Structure 1
Amino acid sequence: MEALRRLEPQARDSEQKYRLAPHNIEAEQALLGAILVNNEAFYRVSDFLEPIHFYEAVHREIYEVCGKIVRSGKTATPITAKTYLPDDLIEGVTMAQYLARLAAEATTVLNAADYGQAIYDLAIRRNLILIGEEVIDSAYNADVETSSSKQIEEAEKRLFDLAEKGRYDGGFLGFNQALIEAINMAGEAYSRDGSLSGTATSLVDLDRLMGGLQRSDLIILAARPAMGKTSLATNIAFAVAKAFKSEPMPDGHMKTINGGVVGFFSLEMSAEQLATRILAEQSEISSSDIRRGNIHESQYAKLVDTSNLMAQVPLYIDDTGGISIAQLAARARRLKRQKGLDLLIVDYLQLLSGSSRKSSENRVQELTEITTSLKALAKELEVPIIALSQLSRQVESREDKRPQLSDLRESGSIEQDADVVLFVYRDEYYLGNKEPKEGTQEHLEWQAEMEKVHGRAEVIIAKQRHGPTGTVQLHFQANLTRFSNLAREDYMPIRGE
């Protein structure tokens, strides 16, 4: 081990002048030795430990090479590993000699996870020190235009990335690593119920076209008033939260295997109003009856039982009005860190405000900042974000009132930044406003048309980066504010675009 000690010249002599970054060379050596003796040790730490977490550069190289050998189905030993490592990494000793020493003084496989966790924790501490130094430097040398809130937001983002991913620095991702992640996603979809690569909404035909809600996607859900966009959002939110299941990972994190933890930013309605909607849907008691107390004893008992079941669901509501996109991002990061997060819903887009002074002077620029920030947040948190949006009034002036992408209100950035754009449309609503005089032939024809569209809704997929566009038919119960799958005998074919 003396050879490696020379990698830190005069470290002990100068400890009084400066502090070394926290590290543990012996733990790194013990873990690498265990891997070289028994490759099972690699599987015990590979889920959370990466080469970048090692303090010594030579140890990063050895761990990376061993990982490549093991993943290719071969055995990593001092003999097989030395072939892929240059001799000049360590001064005064050959790579073959150093690998042999590591193997000779290896720890047991049983201790591998403990040593791996120690190495990981020390790497986090080193990155914390680096972030702290950069925050101090930024505070001392801030530009005139950089506000203190912006600095706080940036520091919080770095800390979140470090807490979630073990590092906060960005950079290029090797294509081989991207391929591994793509294969893993396909494997998860194959083994999951319904074979969806994303989170299921419980609306079967919508899931079939979209493959579920995809991680890192910004999904815009837009409609004119009274179409039921908030109802659809709450239906999806509760269905995802209700299906939530997780399992522990080797590094202590919980991995979602079905459903998900849902965060709901309600800028328009209160948390109590949203809860009433979901309660009505789940208990099958009209929300208007719940609000007026127009229920009998058996219904009240059902409400209590339903609410007790709902209380266990990981659905978190923030009903603060008028928050900025920066505040929303900070709260979303905090929720993911504290409770976990698999789906974020924002109701609705136009009630958010920008965080920069320049954008707030121009509504189009402000909305551009909001949508761009939401897309960046979806990628950062690696969760789908459903953002509800209003549509312009020009829909009402057309004969066919089905929404189009050009109807998205105030900014083209909504369409540009979105990965998926969904429109909710109910023909029943518009036809109901055109009732002719009773007793006429027109009224009989109108009644026949109303029977055809009664309780039906369309979700129009107007844009989708990863799949087809088209229209999905759903059942809508207005008194329960509930969207559900159409029964097969009532089903009308999907309209392709």
Structure 2
Amino acid sequence: MATVEQFAGRLAAVSNAAEPAYRSPPHNIEAEQALLGAILVNNDAFDRVSDFLKSDHFIEEIHRRIFEIAGSLIRAGKLASPITLKTFLGDHDVGGATVPQYLARLAAEATTVINANDYGRTIYDLAIRRELILIGEDTVNVAYDAPVDSSPREQIEEAERRLYQIAESGRYDGGFQRFSDALKTAVDMAAKAYERDGNLSGVATGLVDLDRYMGGLQASDLVILAGRPGMGKTALATNIAFNIAKAHQSQLRADGTNETINGGIVGFFSLEMSSEQLATRIIAEQSGVPSYKIRRGDISEQDFHRVAEAVRDMQSIPFYIDQTGGISIAQLTARARRLKRQRGLDLLVVDYLQLLSGSKTKGDNRVQELTEITMGLKSLAKELNVPVLALSQLSRQVEQRDDKRPQLSDLRESGSIEQDADVVMFVFREEYYLKNKEPRAGTPEHIAWMGEMERTHGRAEVILGKQRHGPTGTVELQFEAELTRFGNLAKEDALPAHY
């Protein structure tokens, strides 16, 4: 085995034998000149590129200044021309010519307005490539000379954050579309809803009354599910996620890829519970055997067969769990993209929001960090075109009120949760609070309490506090505490007459 000194000697010999030639960063001066000339001749060219192109994307300093000043003049409703610009640029040498001469040359050699967008995209793409090179160099340099208190994981997160920042900034694939295109998309969505089970435009949760209010979970929506500890947030999210995965059906497209026609492929980020705990809950829910009995092995032979049968039925469902704790929004985004690319994805669940971390640049300000997280989740939902169901804690002020039903103002740490979410749901179980208020037996209060307990037993409320696509209100569900299972509540008017 070669020693470190021998290895270093061989590396030095190879380096000396073939010194790499200096490579200049990718750029296109001619494209920059042609675009700036087009803007100076016809200011309409600026409007074609201003939504994605910034002055920082130009490699030449003089070009950055020309683009920035021209933009300021145009936005102020003034004319940007070689004559109006020279006042702001001063008088110095630019490649052997004065500023007025250089501006006149740009205008004389200008491209047409029609080509402005193409030149703008070329300049933008080259700037992104330069930024990628810079990130790569920084990553290599930090890896060589890493500080003692810096772990490789932190370096990966920082690189991911910077890459994600590039991907999100300055996209030029947006802009206006014809209303007829939007109409076609809306009609296609309605047609798919007509063909799908339950006639829903979104992904069916398996809870009929909830689906009736929401039309299912809608693609590109950020859905917040909040509640105090003990209300059953995770149980409801798990029930919904499993119902969707279990109902999954797909068909082969003409291009050989699979298309989901019912249910969906689910990605579940379990930041609090381990995958084994989550699996035990789902087994309990599906088999009807309480999870505490499964964990202790306190089950009969009949129970064991029910568990085995439930496990056998669940083997092939498309339900993927990531149990890594304390991950950043950048890591979550990268893993969700990977799952979408490799397996497909129709629903993403995050349990829960406050356990995610943002980038280090936000410092110790938790409100700003949470704003970054919720904005990141909303952007991810739009990018992947899937609903993102994120669980959230509620502040303790709920406990101070006589009516413990949550409100939007109870969302913890940041108003950005309410602002960025398309739907905000609260889980509330009155039985949980009544159980701790039992009066002394034999008193009139105790008789009234027993009546209240009977009324609320096995019932839960899902309060829709905000919904962009439909009404707000309250949906009642059945809740089996032993199995942590939510289900549809049988309505009295829907029961048979002899019941």
Task: Please give the range of the TM-score, normalised by the shorter of the 2 chains.
Answer: 0.5 to 0.7
Query: Which secondary structure state, in structure 1, belongs to the residue aligned with residue 212 of structure 2?
Result: helix
2:385 maps to 1:392: no
Aligned to 1:315: 319
Q: CA deviation at 1:207?
A: 0.2
> What code does the residue aligned with 1:254 have?
N
Cα contact 1:354–1:360 (8 A) shared by 2: no
Aligned to 2:239: 235
> What code does the residue aligned with 2:405 have?
R
Q: CA deviation at 1:370?
A: 0.3
- Distance in 2 of aligned mates of 1:159 and 1:340: 21
User: Residue deviations 1:81-134, cap 9 Å, x none?
Assistant: xxxxxxxxxxxxxxxxxxxxxxxxxxxxxxxxxxxxxxxxxxxxxxxx999976
Cα contact 2:225–2:426 (8 A) shared by 1: yes
Aligned to 2:272: 268
> What code does the residue aligned with 2:430 have?
D
Aligned to 2:414: 411
> What code does the residue aligned with 2:358 have?
G
> What code does the residue aligned with 1:290 have?
I
User: Residue deviations 1:270-327, cap 9 Å, x none?
Assistant: 0000000000000000111111111011211211111011111100000100000000
User: Residue deviations 1:169-214, cap 9 Å, x none?
Assistant: 5222512322221111011111212110000001000000000000
Match of 1:140 among 110, 114, 133: 133
Q: CA deviation at 1:444?
A: 1.1
Match of 1:198 among 199, 202, 208: 202
Cα contact 1:230–1:347 (8 A) shared by 2: yes
Count residues in correspondence.
356
- Distance in 1 of aligned mates of 2:453 and 2:321: 36
Aligned to 1:366: 369
TM-score using structure 2 length:
0.67
Match of 2:296 among 292, 302, 326: 292
- Distance in 2 of aligned mates of 1:142 and 1:446: 65
2:338 maps to 1:334: yes
| Root-mean-square deviation over aligned CA pairs | 2.7
User: Residue deviations 1:148-186, cap 9 Å, x none?
Assistant: 7555456579999xxxxxxx8522251232222111101
> What code does the residue aligned with 2:383 have?
E
Q: CA deviation at 1:388?
A: 0.2
2:466 maps to 1:430: no
- Distance in 1 of aligned mates of 2:124 and 2:246: 38
Q: CA deviation at 1:402?
A: 0.1
User: Residue deviations 1:18-42, cap 9 Å, x none?
Assistant: xxxxxxxxxxxxxxxxxxxxxxxxx
Runs of 4+ in 1 over 4 A off after TM superposition: 129-136, 141-160
1:345-494 aligned at under 5 Å gives the runs 345-355=349-359, 357-489=360-492
Cα contact 2:220–2:387 (8 A) shared by 1: yes
Alignment CA distance shift 1:134-1:245 (3 Å): farther
Aligned to 1:255: 259
> What code does the residue aligned with 1:218 have?
L
Identity %: 63
> What code does the residue aligned with 1:137 have?
R
- Distance in 1 of aligned mates of 2:127 and 2:329: 24
- Distance in 2 of aligned mates of 1:248 and 1:157: 35
Cα contact 1:457–1:475 (8 A) shared by 2: yes
- Distance in 1 of aligned mates of 2:164 and 2:254: 26
Aligned to 2:25: none
Query: Which secondary structure state, in structure 1, belongs to the residue aligned with residue 199 of structure 2?
Result: coil
Instruction: Give the stretch that moved more between structures: 136-145 or 286-295.
Output: 136-145
- Distance in 2 of aligned mates of 1:318 and 1:331: 9
The runs of 5 or more residues in structure 1 that have no matched partner are 1-128, 161-167, 493-497
- Distance in 1 of aligned mates of 2:423 and 2:219: 12
2:189 maps to 1:185: yes
- Distance in 2 of aligned mates of 1:286 and 1:131: 58
User: Residue deviations 1:25-63, cap 9 Å, x none?
Assistant: xxxxxxxxxxxxxxxxxxxxxxxxxxxxxxxxxxxxxxx
Q: CA deviation at 1:139?
A: 3.1
- Distance in 2 of aligned mates of 1:485 and 1:291: 27
Query: Which secondary structure state, in structure 2, belongs to the residue aligned with residue 366 of structure 1?
Result: helix
TM-score using structure 1 length:
0.68
- Distance in 2 of aligned mates of 1:475 and 1:358: 45
Aligned to 2:217: 213
1:21-170 aligned at under 5 Å gives the runs 136-141=129-134, 149=157, 152=160, 170=173
Aligned to 1:10: none
Alignment CA distance shift 1:131-1:159 (3 Å): farther
